């Protein structure tokens, strides 16, 4: 095995379906710009920053702003990870949408009363999220709670110990080409392509 010198680079994970697979709910053009532009950009920038950080660690770089480097690195690494979750949490029509079954379906009914009530709360959370961010469903193992939460920007320090089960990207780049300023229409359309099998798989992994 090759000797590791410094922190390792990130790689853009493959899109789990064809670029037009989410139509008509999310257009091919949006997925193209979002994946090949934004997501790839986060990975590339993270790698540039890792080069710089490795230079700092190896004392090749003498003058630097550590706060700036690490803040940007946090933003870009999280950008990669959040988008990787987001792509997997959607599936083409026919495979996605409908209601969650399995343990996730049971827990949602137990804690939110019904899937419809959960959907209403998540939608309201998403629609009330100011500016750029994410709506997420997290699982807190300590008390077995499924928490609907909103995340600002890419920074999610407040989600400590609460892995994401389901995620919705609310940055303008996720919907503007198709939905313009009608973000609520994008949120409404997204429910048709939610990949509940993937969300259930994540929850199962956390229940083990
Ligand atoms: Mn995005």
pLDDT in tens, 16-74: 999 999 999 999 999 999 999 999 999 999 999 999 999 999 999 999 999 999 999 99
Give the three-class secondary structure for 139: strand
Separation of CA 45 and ligand 1 centre (Å): 15
Tokens encoding 102: 């399995």
* Other Cβ atoms within 10 Å of 52 Cβ, number: 16
Separation of CA 190 and ligand 1 centre (Å): 14
**What pLDDT, in 10s, does the model give residues 99-140?**
999 999 999 999 999 999 999 999 999 999 988 899 999 999
Q: What is the average pLDDT across 167-184?
A: 97
How high is the pLDDT of residue 208?
80
Asked if residue 146 lies in contact with residue 139, where contact means CB atoms within 8 angstroms, the answer is yes
Q: What is the average pLDDT across 77-104?
A: 95
How high is the pLDDT of residue 149?
93
Separation of CA 34 and ligand 1 centre (Å): 6
Asked if residue 98 lies in contact with residue 192, where contact means CB atoms within 8 angstroms, the answer is no
- Provide the pLDDT confidence category of residue 156 given band limits of 50, 70 and 90: low
Pick one of 3.30.160.160, 3.55.40.20, 3.30.70.1350, 2.60.40.10 as the CATH number of 102-207: 3.55.40.20
State what percent of residues in the chain have pLDDT above 90. 87
Domain boundaries, the chain: 28-88, 102-207
Separation of CA 208 and ligand 1 centre (Å): 30
Is a pLDDT exceeding 70 seen at residue 80?
yes
Is a pLDDT exceeding 70 seen at residue 85?
yes
Q: What is the average pLDDT across 92-102?
A: 91
* d(C-alpha 184, C-alpha 33), whole Å: 21
Q: Domain spanning 28-88: which superfamily? A: Fe,Mn superoxide dismutase (SOD) domain (1.10.287.990)
* d(C-alpha 167, C-alpha 197), whole Å: 14
Residues 103, 106, 109: CA angle, nearest 5 degrees: 150
Q: What is the average pLDDT across 153-173?
A: 85
């Amino acid at each position: 095995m090759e000797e590791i010198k410094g922190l390792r680079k990130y790689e853009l994970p493959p899109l789990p379906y064809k670029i037009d697979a989410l139509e008509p709910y999310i257009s091919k053009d949006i997925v193209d710009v979002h994946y090949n532009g934004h997501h790839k950009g986060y990975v590339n920038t993270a790698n540039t920053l890792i080069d710089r950080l490795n230079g700092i660690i190896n004392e090749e770089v003498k003058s630097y702003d550590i706060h700036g480097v690490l803040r940007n690195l946090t933003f870009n690494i999280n950008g990669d990870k959040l988008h990787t979750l987001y792509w997997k949490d959607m599936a083409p029509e026919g495979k996605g949408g409908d209601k969650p079954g399995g343990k996730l379906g049971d827990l949602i009914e137990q804690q939110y009363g019904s899937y419809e009530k959960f959907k209403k709360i998540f939608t309201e959370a998403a629609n009330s999220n100011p500016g750029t961010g994410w709506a997420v469903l997290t699982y807190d193992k300590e008390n077995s709670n499924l928490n609907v939460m909103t995340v600002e920007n890419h920074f999610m320090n407040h989600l400590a110990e609460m892995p994401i089960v389901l995620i919705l990207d609310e940055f303008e780049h996720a919907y503007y080409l198709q939905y313009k300023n009608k973000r609520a229409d994008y949120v409404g359309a997204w429910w048709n392509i939610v990949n509940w099998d993937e969300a259930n798989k994540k929850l199962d992994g956390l229940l083990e």
